[in-house]
Structure 1
Amino acid sequence: MTRHQRNATASSVYTYHERKKDQKASGYGSLKERLGKDAVTNFDCCSLTLQPCRNPVVTPDGYLFDKEAILEYLLHQKREVARQLKEYDRQKRKEERELEELAKAAKESEAKKFIAQESTPARVSVNNEINSTPGSSNSVSNMSDDKKNKLPSFWLPSLTGSLKTFDLEKPDFKICCPMSGNPLKFKDLLSVKFHLAKDADEKSSFDKDRYVCAVTKDVLTNATPLAVLKKSMSSNLENFISGII
């Protein structure tokens, strides 16, 4: 082992290499990594299926989806919201029944306590007074003293021992975009028309130079920002549209 390898980290200066190595090991700080080509989808691919769009639509935030895929997603989210709403209503009805049972049990206990007090004789025997003095009884019954108030009532579902249940929150009726998280409706989607190049095959989806700008006829790539006109629904270069407007 050479001297340089032996004293690689013995310097008094915290080098750039050591700092990046510590950041990667601890996960602290800003981490940058160059992504490969396989990690980036093409501009004409759906954000859900990651496949070329057959009927492309775009959201107000600029995310491209296939019409069939985003419609299926919206319907699934609506069914999920309806299911959560039914579960929430079922929990609320259960809580209301438990409150009614508690109120009914409280009234019954008050009535029994009142009847017991009214039916008790006014004179108490000497033996009962002696036995009722503190420290004279060594009862180990679980029904004595304060233990009788802590016992669960097996006839009340709210007082029986059970697993801890988590309170459900009221579901949100807004369906959000799977990419941006903003509220999304089907009527907000805008259809997109990609213009094919002259020599491009309409059935092939592997051509790099497949689509061109509707006006300038420049080839569209993953590195070119695009803009969609609302009325014509055509895809154009963003710098060209911004230059005209």
Structure 2
Amino acid sequence: MSEVIQPLLEAEHYYQAAWDSDWNEGNCILSREYILILSLVYVTETKCYLELEEHEMALKRLAEAEEILKPRIRKYVKLLFEDPSGYLHSACQGVRLSSILEILKYVTAESNVDKLFDEHTRTAIFNTCSIESWTDSIPLRSRNAILALVAPSLVGVEWTLWDRMPWNTGARREVILGLMSRANQVIAAAQSMIELHRRLEGYRHEINETVRLGLSFREWQDLVLPPKSSSEDQDSKILLLLPA
């Protein structure tokens, strides 16, 4: 098991640097993928230490994972919701106002839903008639991140549909409306990132409790995993750490 840890450490450094480069260069095309890979690497390393019964080291590595990942997750979610008013446009069919407000609660750390509604959505409800204006107003990196979710084929390493494709006003509007009709994919991506943040916290609390109770890793597994003899259709107690 210990021979697996060194490559994982190298992968952590590589993907952290890759995320930072993608972010600092303003591309933000692979930001979500780098976060997911980095999360998987950290969780795998943590599990290695647990299997070695080195609980304190597992907690230390998981604490570093939270320190590295949580601010990047928050930055990414905020990027998708730099201006949430566009998601209130009629083209964004099926987008729930409650979902937008929950995401804004995470981004702003504001728990007062009425205040969030007043500051971020009330005016927007009456001022989102021009989806083109909204698209032009948000930062390029936000457009890149949104496009990477709803239409990855339209995003290149150094360009996007927005700044490379010549179009007249009518054609442009149709393309933008078509893309925004997939806005639920953006909502789902933001929600999955928030879920990842919370699962990392939950995993740390679970390991802390394991240490407090003096359980070995195998004893802990017996508590959280279904018996090997159980059939596939029985309820499973497995906690999935990464979002689908």
TM-score by length of 1: 0.27
* Greater Rg by CA: 1
Greater helix proportion: 2
Greater strand proportion: 1
Per chain length, whose mean CA-contact separation is higher, i.e. which structure has more relative contact order (CA < 8 Å, sep 6+)?
2
